[in-house]
A and B are shown apart, each in its own frame.
Chain A
Amino acid sequence: MKYLKKSCFILFYLKLFIVLFLFSCTTNQNNDNDNVVETSTNNKSEKALDKAKIIFYSLPSPVEMTLVLQSANTEYNEEFLNPLIKIDDYSTNKSLALNLGVYSADLSYCTLFNQQQTMIKYMSATKKIAENLGITDAINDSTMIKLRANYNNKKAILDIISETFLNSNAYLEENDRAEIAALIMAGGWIESLYIGIQLSEKNVKKNPELTTVIIDQLIAIEDLVGLLELYKNNKNIASILPNIIELKTIYFDINEKNRESSYLKICNKIEKIRSNYTQ
């Protein structure tokens, strides 16, 4: 009898856990039919029967963002990086995830500008943060060995950085921690923009090519908001979402007449958000 009671108890909690688990897995599925896209193989009956539309938001990775910044005739300045001394201050999942993104962007920036010594230090930093987040396979000792072996091969190093980013995201998604991956993306995107605005000296006229790249990111901010909103019930995501939405509002106010003042507002907001992430 006692054994039966215990089994029922276990079964009840297992069922409850399964229901909660399945509910959590549907957060990235959009069942709305408002955006059904007419494709060439569609017909009306198929359209009516369409199942869940799974939506992904693909932001530029830190490597892609810094590549864009480099294209705009910019120079390297180590002062723009988040100092490594702060690394021990990050202990919560939120601060670790955001700063894994931040350091990944810094890593891409110093690699693109051939700063190999700094690159090794920042890769070690991202490895440490990833370990603290419980992502042990994404950046391991063999990554560091590969990095040192390709010390002078920029393309190979960028591929290694991208691979670590890919592996971190995959690991987190496989372990039902996709909201952490979203925080990493947010941190990386904000840091890339922070480097960009520092390079532009917050002056829209200083480097028009660069400021165009930064202003063009109003396209990406929509994807970042979309990505974060998938996990808005998570308290860490909920805590960063309002500032990103405010940045989106500032971005969407920009026009030819107010370009100079709006650009400055964008810069100030990005600096504030970056300061919150890295403090």
Chain B
Amino acid sequence: MTKKIILVLVLTLLLPLFSIAQCKEFAKNEGLPLLGPYTQSGRYHALLLYEGEQIKMYKTLTKGIDYRFILSVGDGLPQNTNFIIMNWKKEIIFDNAKNDFDKLFDYSCQKSQRVLIVVKVPRNNNSEKEKSACVSLITGFKKTE
């Protein structure tokens, strides 16, 4: 009995680490191949999200650089996940709800600025059990030609 309890506790302990590793792998397989000519920015922003949860990412963009933003949403979550990029004045640069929930956005930066990227998984009020899946946000860059 004690052995079983210890096993359950150990598994509970390791679960968050498995989900981090699993979501990084998800980002690697789903997001990275979409970078094309862009160089990835050095970090996977990937984690397990539930319906109704939201990620915010502050990103510095530099003048003279082109950026690509790639959102990947795992199968368990609604694919109409909202993806918005705003400038420092909270003016919307991109809103995928107005672009068929597109998950890829290219931006040529003309002026250095800090943007806020918001990813919001919609809540499904009809579902009895909250669903979860990996969500990743990958950015790439290249010199403006």
By a beta-carbon cutoff of 8 Å, the part of chain A in contact with chain B is 7, 10-11, 14-15, 17-18, 21-22, 25, 35, 37, 39-42, 46, 49-64, 67-68, 71, 155, 158-159, 162-163, 165-166, 169-170, 173-176, 181, 212-213, 216-217, 219-220, 222-223, 226
Given the complex of chains A and B, what is the CA–CA distance between A222 and B141 in angstroms?
A: 20
Number of B positions contacting A (CB below 8 A): 54
> Of the candidates B6, B57, B97, which one forms a contact with A10 in the assembled complex, judged by CB atoms under 8 Å apart?
B6
Across the interface, which residues of A come within 8 angstroms of B122, CB to CB?
41, 46
A259 to chain B, nearest CB (A): 16
Whether the Cβ atoms of A169 and B42 lie closer than 8 Å is yes
Whether the Cβ atoms of A41 and B82 lie closer than 8 Å is yes
Whether the Cβ atoms of A51 and B42 lie closer than 8 Å is no
Q: What is the total of A-B residue contacts with beta carbons within 8 Å?
A: 164
B49 to chain A, nearest CB (A): 8
Identify 29 residue pairs between A and B in the complex whose beta-carbon atoms are under 8 Å apart, listed by A's number.
A18-B9, A18-B12, A21-B16, A37-B56, A39-B120, A40-B95, A41-B120, A50-B52, A51-B50, A52-B53, A53-B55, A54-B53, A55-B57, A56-B55, A56-B56, A56-B57, A56-B58, A58-B45, A60-B60, A61-B41, A64-B62, A71-B143, A163-B40, A174-B20, A216-B62, A222-B58, A223-B59, A223-B114, A226-B58
Whether the Cβ atoms of B56 and A35 lie closer than 8 Å is yes
Whether the Cβ atoms of A37 and B116 lie closer than 8 Å is yes
* Contact bitstring B9-22, A, C-beta under 8 A = 1, else 0: 11011001100110
A263 to chain B, nearest CB (A): 16
Across the interface, which residues of A come within 8 angstroms of B137, CB to CB?
56
Whether the Cβ atoms of A162 and B120 lie closer than 8 Å is no
Q: A46-B123, A60-B62 are in contact. List 4 more A-B contacts (CB 8 A).
A: A37-B90, A39-B118, A52-B53, A219-B112
